[in-house]
Each structure stands twice: as structure tokens, then as C-alpha cells.
Amino acid sequence: MARKPKSVDEAIDEVVEETVKENIDEQEESADEARASIAKAQEAIDKARAAMNTAYGKARDKSAAATEQAKIYLDDAKKHLGEAGESIGHLASKAREQLEKLYGMTKDQYDVLSKSTRETYGKVKERVSELELGQKGDQMLEYIRLNPGKAVMIALAAGFVVGYATRPRD
């Protein structure tokens, strides 16, 4: 039994599903790294805020040390935000790769469909050109000449059917 060919939508859905399954773990890992870096940055900012609050309430000599500690925490936050940026960049590049792959596969499907359509059009055009409509018209006129009574009855029946079908209804 011949296997029924897939529709374009089914083929595209299959390709998308396969591609997403291949890359989802890697993207989740990159997203987790970004989340962890952002959490560390937030923690460092919170520590800097706490150090600044400590410095505000203490004497001047202690505030300098607290300010230095706050700078260290802010540098730490900057480092973690940089790591988060790298993770997000990696995630974006993977998404781009996925989209390029899907585009390529979709383009391939389009090319196959386009070729098939051209072939089908060529076959239909060939068959239509094989029909000799002039010859069919001559055969019809010959039938009318040989059977005028039947031709008139057929024309009356066709006229009645068309008239009945197109008359206005209440």
C-alpha cells in the first residue's frame, strides 16, 4: 500500500518539533545560567545596599570601610551581570541557529512543493492541449444535423431546468 505523502503543514510541524526537542535542553541550561548570574548579581547588590546602610548609621571612619566593601560588592554584581549577558547571548545565538535551520527546511519543502506544482501544471496543460475542442464542436453540430428533434428536446429540457433553477423564490 502506497504511503500517503505528508502535507506541507505536517512536514513543517514535524521539523519544528524535532528541532525544538534537539535544542531545548541546551537553551534551558543557558537560561538557568542567566537566572543564576542575575540572582548572584541581585545578592551582591543587596549586600552593597546593606553595607551602605551600615555606613550611613556609623561613624566616619567606619563608613569608609563600608564604602569600600560596597564597591567590592558592586564590582561583584557587575561581574555576575556580565556572565548573565553572556548566557543570554548564547541563548540568542542558539535560537538564531534554530530559526535558520527551520528556515532552510521550510525552504526545501517549498522547493519540493513548487516543483510538484509545476509538474502537475505541465501535465494538466498537456492534457488540455490534447483535447481538440474544435473537433468536439464539429461532432456536436453533426449530431444536431442528424437528430434535429432530439436536439430541440434536449435544448428545451435544458432551458426548463435553467429557468426553474434561476427563477425567484418567495
Predicted pLDDT of residue 145 = 92
The pTM of the full predicted model, rounded to 2 decimals, is 0.45
Predicted pLDDT of residue 88 = 85
Domain-by-domain residue ranges, the chain? 8-131, 132-170
Give the number of other Cβ atoms within 10 Å of residue 84's Cβ.
19
The whole-angstrom separation of Cα 138 and Cα 123 is 26
Q: What is the pLDDT of residues 6-26, one digit of tens each?
A: 676 776 777 777 776 767 777
Predicted pLDDT of residue 152 = 92
Give the number of other Cβ atoms within 10 Å of residue 120's Cβ.
10
At what angle are helices 8-57 and 60-130 packed, to 10 degrees? 170
Per DSSP (E only), the strands in 14-165 are none
Q: What is the pLDDT of residues 104-120, one digit of tens each?
A: 888 888 888 889 889 98
